[in-house]
Amino acid sequence: GAGVSQSPSNKVTEKGKDVELRCDPISGHTALYWYRQSLGQGLEFLIYFQGNSAPDKSGLPSDRFSAERTGGSVSTLTIQRTQQEDSAVYLCASSLGQGAGNTEAFFGQGTRLTVV
């Protein structure tokens, strides 16, 4: 596609429910990131996929959060038993990969998650 696509754009869920957020990266991009942006906060790193390497999960805030990337393309971020503090904009980005010139990250428009 022309850019990074995220769905849904908005999601309202009840506390305790599970949610799945989807990211379609730019075709051919081997690196994929998930970040979280809370009101008045910076970008909090969640997880990073690079090719076939084991993902860097060091930013996931709890075991309620998980992500997978199927076939090196589409990624799904799953939040189980959502809490109100999970409310934020979840951003996905992709890049060509490693090495100079390949590191520019292209961002999607984000999914605004509201837990009520």
N- to C-terminal Cα distance for the chain?
A: 33
Contact between residue 98 and residue 104 where contact means Cβ atoms under 8 Å apart = no
Choose among 111, 85, 78, 80: nearest CA to 16.
80
CB of residue 24 to another protein, shortest distance in Å? 14
Applying CB under 8 A, which residues contact another protein? 33, 35, 41-43, 45, 48, 50, 56, 91, 93, 95, 97-101, 103-110
CB of residue 18 to another protein, shortest distance in Å? 26
Nearer to another protein, 50 or 80 (CB): 50
CB of residue 33 to another protein, shortest distance in Å? 6
Nearer to another protein, 19 or 35 (CB): 35
Amino acid 34 reads W
Beta bridge partners of 77: 21, 67
Contact between residue 109 and residue 10 where contact means Cβ atoms under 8 Å apart = no
Amino acid 73 reads S
> What's the Rg (C-alpha) of the chain?
14
CB of residue 70 to another protein, shortest distance in Å? 20
Nearer to another protein, 25 or 110 (CB): 110
Nearer to another protein, 2 or 100 (CB): 100
